[in-house]
Amino acid sequence: MITMKIKISLFVLAALMLVSCKKKDETDTSPKTGKISISFEHFISNQPAIVNDYIYTNAAGNVYSFFLVRYFISDVELYKSDGSVVKIDKWTDHFYVDTDIPHTLEWNVFDEISIGNFDSLSFRFGFSDTKNQSFMFVNQPESNMVWPEELGGGYHYLQLEGKWIDPNGIKIGYAFHLGRGQHYDGSGNPVPPFIDNSFRVSLPNSAFSVETDKTTKLTLRMNIENWFEEPHLYDHNQWGGDIMQQQPAMLLAKENGWNVFSFNLNNN
């Protein structure tokens, strides 16, 4: 007959084994993730851009100022060192930036990002043609970026505005805008189809790491002067104040956009 003392001992041993098995079974096997935030800053000639001040001269020799920059980025992709790609798309796949609205200058990304080392990132400036749909924004400030329906609809990819001083010393306003374009025939009639002027920006020197339950802070800097410099010299005197219906000017801007952005890892 098993004594009461032995029964108690066997019960305790069984309980310990059950707890041990349960701890093994409850080992957290969920993927380890962290967060990223992306700050946006705007520079001219390696200094923070100053609004409404005629202290800048572009590569074409135009003395100019600026007073606002607004734009969308979308389809952000993060490239891991193992060759895999992480896409930012869980809550939203785009972000709106406006130099007049401070809270739009930092994107606290909703997505949980798998931990590890990342080699680089890229994004689309504006929206892809399939995503750039009219009326997808009903609230301000994004709704203010609407692109005219007669010019293709959807939304502006960029609004960069200011003034330049023409050869006669007159200050003239410019609206350096990017969105859908179109060509026109000799009589000024539009020639289908509309043209997608969005483009991808790749930042190969943008390595960073994501750690478990931590937020990695990244910074994207727009170097405004580069819109006017490479590979094309952009001359305000040639293109005038408004380029929305000038596809050759918008193509030039699009092709200059490849190195407008630079990357910084905020270690603070």
pTM: predicted TM-score of the whole model, two decimal places: 0.87
Mean pLDDT of the chain: 90
Beta strands in the chain (DSSP E): 33-44, 47-48, 56-57, 63-80, 85-87, 94-98, 106-108, 113-114, 116-125, 158-165, 171-178, 181-184, 190-195, 199-203, 208-210, 215-223, 261-266
How large is the average pLDDT for residues 52-57?
Answer: 96
d(CA 227, CA 64): 13
Mean pLDDT of 59-69: 97
Tens of pLDDT, residues 223-264: 999 999 999 999 999 999 999 999 999 999 999 999 999 999
Is pLDDT at 220 greater than 60 in this prediction? Answer: yes
Provide the pLDDT for residue 27.
60
pLDDT value at residue 218 = 97
Task: Check residue 28 and give its pLDDT.
Answer: 60
Residue 189 has pLDDT above 80, yes or no: yes
DSSP character at residue 204: S
Q: What is the mean pLDDT of residues 37-60?
A: 97
Half-sphere exposure of 224 (CA within 13 A, CB side): 29
Residue 266 is predicted with a pLDDT of 78
Is the predicted pLDDT of residue 97 greater than 70, yes or no? Answer: yes
Q: How confident is the model at residue 186 (pLDDT cuts 50, 70, 90)?
A: confident
